[in-house]
Amino acid sequence: MNLVQQIAKHLQEVHFGGNWTSVNLKNVLSDIEWEQAITPVDSLNTIAGLVYHINYYVRAIRQVLEGGSLDSKDIYSFDLPPICSREDWEKLKAQTWSDVEKLTLLIEKMPGSKLEENFVEEKYGTYYRNLHGLIEHTHYHLGQMMLIKKLIRKGAKSV
């Protein structure tokens, strides 16, 4: 397995399972009801907000790999549309799974030499840095979601 395939596999695993940590986004979210997903705990982000935030960057990188421009702005990365029902929550999760599947396929098709090239502009670093950063970013927020989920289940309103 070459490096591009390994990166794609690692991204897939943090979302759907099989990674070294044995924790993945789909499993963590599988038993969270929509009301829990939008429940605030103190000043922490909501679980739904974190899911949106993670996928915001998945979509941004996917758009670039599809030949589009980099239109994302960090200030919009938590602009979660309202989650007012189970259907809204399921739609957010389904979009997340779809976007990461599409991105994984695009990564797998990349030539390995692309990893060393600048991602859009030099200031963003290489494709490797951005793809690896996306995986790290997902693990980071996945850990937060696990803690928030535990706090919600304990009935915590603040930490």
Q: What is the pLDDT of residues 74-127, one digit of tens each?
A: 999 999 999 999 999 999 999 999 999 999 999 999 999 999 999 999 999 999
Please report which confidence band the pLDDT of residue 53 belongs to, taking 50, 70 and 90 as the band edges. Answer: very high
Answer yes or no: is pLDDT of 6 > 70. Answer: yes
* pLDDT at residue number 33: 97
- Token output for 159: 């930490």
Q: What are phi and psi of 26, to 5 degrees?
A: -60, -45
Answer yes or no: is pLDDT of 60 > 80. Answer: yes
* pLDDT at residue number 156: 67
Counted residue by residue, the chain has a size of: 159
Provide the whole-model pTM. 0.95
Tokens 């982000």 belong to residue: 45
Query: Which domains are seen in the chain, by residue range?
Result: 3-154 (1.20.120.450)
Distance CA(125)–CA(102), nearest Å, equals 22
Distance CA(68)–CA(90), nearest Å, equals 27
Q: Are 89 and 83 in contact (CB under 8 A)?
A: yes
Answer yes or no: is pLDDT of 159 > 70. Answer: no
Which tops the pLDDT comparison, 89 or 19? 89
- Token output for 10: 């690692």
